[in-house]
């Protein structure tokens, strides 16, 4: 890989081996906007591979330093993080990741819908672990949280300042 830029690396390599990508990025001095957007897109889709890639990235955040991603999160903002015992914290972290990083790049409005869909996907992955009335309750809560972010996401809390002109 010596002498190749990060742009030449397949996205799969970037997502599965960020340390190598970071080394390549250091050689190239910076990650381009296109590379950052491609990685961000891959980490915020409503699919199992995207969710798995994001969890791997979350577990190795330091190796993504060249990308300058904002990993901060207030979890589920003003809503309970674990309503009725259903742990939506990982879903809220990935959702915050998508919102904050797309806003930082000035690309939030065009990407809000898929980030919100990924949020619903992640919460439904929590709900799949349950059966009967517990699953129904979890699914309903997930749908309620999703509807809230679809209608209000980007307008409350830390995100409000960035969202005023973009929604």
> How high is the pLDDT of residue 91?
96
Residues 62 and 112 in one domain: no
pLDDT digits (tens, 9 = 90+) for 84-107: 999 999 999 999 999 999 999 999
Active site residue 55: no
Last residue of a domain, one of 69, 98, 128: 69
3, pLDDT greater than 70 = no
Residues 19 and 48 in one domain: yes
CATH number, domain of 167, equals: 1.20.90.10
pLDDT digits (tens, 9 = 90+) for 46-77: 999 999 999 999 999 999 999 999 999 999 88
Structural domain range at position 46: 1-69
Catalytic residue among 36, 93, 94, 95: 95
Last residue of a domain, one of 45, 69, 93: 69
Place of tokens 């998508």: 98
Last residue of a domain, one of 42, 69, 96: 69
Residues 134 and 156 in one domain: yes
For residues 38-43, give the mean pLDDT.
Answer: 96
- Degrees, nearest 5: CA angle 104-99-5: 55
Residues 62 and 82 in one domain: no
Residues 166 and 121 in one domain: yes
pTM over 0.95: no
- Domain total for the chain? 2
For residues 7-28, give the mean pLDDT.
Answer: 45
């Amino acid at each position: 890989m010596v002498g190749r830029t990060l742009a030449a690396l397949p996205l799969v390599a970037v997502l599965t081996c960020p340390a190598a990508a970071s080394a390549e990025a250091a050689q190239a001095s910076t990650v381009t906007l296109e590379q950052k957007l491609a990685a961000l897109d891959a980490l915020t889709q409503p699919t199992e591979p995207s969710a798995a890639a994001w969890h791997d990235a979350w577990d190795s955040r330091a190796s993504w330093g060249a990308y300058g991603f904002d990993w901060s999160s207030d979890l589920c903002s003003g809503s309970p993080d674990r309503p009725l015992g259903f742990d939506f914290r990982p879903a809220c972290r990935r959702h915050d990741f998508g919102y904050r990083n797309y806003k930082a790049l000035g690309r939030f409005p065009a990407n809000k819908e898929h980030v919100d869909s990924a949020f619903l996907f992640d919460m439904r992955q929590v709900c799949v672990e349950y059966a009967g009335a517990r699953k129904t309750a979890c699914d309903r809560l997930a749908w309620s949280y999703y509807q809230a972010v679809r209608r209000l996401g980007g307008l409350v809390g830390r995100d409000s300042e960035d969202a005023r002109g973009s929604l």
